[in-house]
Amino acid sequence: MNASEPNGLVRLTALEAREALATGDLTSEELVGACLKRIAKRDAIRAWTHVDGEAALAAARASDAQRARGEVMGPLAGIPVGVKDIIDTKDFPTELGSEIFKGRQPTIDAFVVSELKAHGAIILGKTVTTEFAFFGPGETRNPHEPTRTPGGSSSGSAAAVADFQVPLALGTQTAGSIIRPASYCGVVGFKPTFGCVSRTGVLAQSAPLDTIGGYARSVEDVALLLDCIDGFDVADRNMMPGRKPSLLAQIETHKVRPRRLAFVKSPAWPQGDASMQAAFELFASTFKGDVDVIETALPAGFDNIIRLQQIVQFSDIARNYGPIADSHPGRVSAKLKEVIAEGKSFSMPSYDDARGKQELLYEALRPILVNNDVILTPAAQGVAPVGLANTGSPMFNGLWTYLGMPCLSLPLLTVDGMPLGVQLVGARGDGGRLLSIASWMMKERGRKSFRA
């Protein structure tokens, strides 16, 4: 490996790069330089809002110098990472996907960015988000087919990882903003249990739902990323107390093989397209004789769960974004105005009822979680839609976000030459087991091709 092989370098996973850095077969300067060349070559994907190549290379050289001096290196030392542009960075503008905040420059890093730096990561730049991390699309294109959407709202992060522009990137999810872009772009996207990662310094959309996660090209890489950003932050009142076990260590130690999977179609199933349904049914059927896959109906009360999630999200959008829209009526999208108006229409009792049902419905789900290793369910309605005017629907994701459960999308399906994710969902606080099963599934099913 050397700087004359940039195409090979950008295809390294984070763990492969870390090993090469540790053995001296690679320098951080070479890796970062290769990523910068890839970004320049693939500028048409438009995954980034801001990249500072000189600063990234300087940080990479400093990391290499530390390693040469024999200093103890962090688990992400010398590895470039992309940061979604609703997450504050003191070294880059954070513009929230809106022209209203063009040039906005935070003075301090978000908690997760500080965590990344403390673990040695090189912040390569800011990735494109949709307008205020909602539906208004940015400029990013799907790297598999530029006429299609990459999904949203973590558009740039998913596309940058899928296009080998960076090995790791942060995303956020309030409905389906990590899982859907992962499905459309063909990468691993992980949304951890609600409360696992601090949101201090991150645009607030809906405090009961907002969750930070990330993207990678392997399950092990996304576990490494989350291990490096899950430090406890007293400023985020929703953080889970107690020390969190290493997700990567759980994958490497336990090698969990599932015995029983609950195949859940969810209330959104009828809205999935026929190709998605066929591909997913075929995929589920391949486990026969290997792992029990049991088609499982959700308990009573789940028929309206998607609407309950929307009541919480839209009400909070009205509270958090309404004043911005009122002050800048000509500079926000029609869709955002529409949702703000809808959010204002919900009464406080309706909001409180929707919030109260989060715990009731999660408790109703416990028998499924106890009797199965994980839930197997679609990640999206279908492949990435043609056109850039919208970012697709979160219908297959919002219910799991509403329940605060860890979930991830695995790039295991293909329809008409485009990637389509398989979503796995686990019990709260059991992200290690979920990722271990995901790792097994990528190894056992990733060698096969499942096409509608």
Q: Is 285 a catalytic residue?
A: no
Nearest partner of 286 among 412, 145, 106, judged by Cα: 412
Angle between helices 219-227 and 431-445 (to 10 degrees): 160
How many other C-beta atoms are found inside a 10 Å radius of the C-beta of residue 330? Answer: 5
Q: For residue 397, how many C-alpha atoms fall within 13 Å in the half-sphere facing its CB?
A: 35
Strand (E) positions, 41-148?
48-51, 80-84, 122-127
Q: Which of 84, 117, 126, 265 is catalytic?
A: 84
Q: Is 177 a catalytic residue?
A: yes
Is the Cα dihedral 357, 363, 366, 369 positive or negative? positive
367 φ, ψ (degrees, to nearest 5): -55, -40
Q: Which of 153, 206, 315, 436 is catalytic?
A: 153
451 alpha-carbon distance from chain centroid: 24
User: What secondary structure does DSSP assign to 138-198, as a single string?
Assistant: -S---TT-TTB---SSSHHHHHHHHTTS-SEEEEEESSSTTHHHHHHHTSEEEE--TTSS-
Say how far apart CA 99 and CA 396 lie, in whole Å.
30
Strand 211-216 and strand 188-191: pairing?
Answer: antiparallel
Say how far apart CA 13 and CA 29 lie, in whole Å.
16
Q: Is 443 a catalytic residue?
A: no
Evaluate whether 376 touches 424 at the Cβ level (below 8 Å): yes
Please report which helix (H) or strand (E) contains residue 216, including its range.
strand 211-216
Q: Which of 157, 177, 206, 315 is catalytic?
A: 177
Strand (E) positions, 324-417?
374-378, 407-415
Active site residues: 84, 153, 177
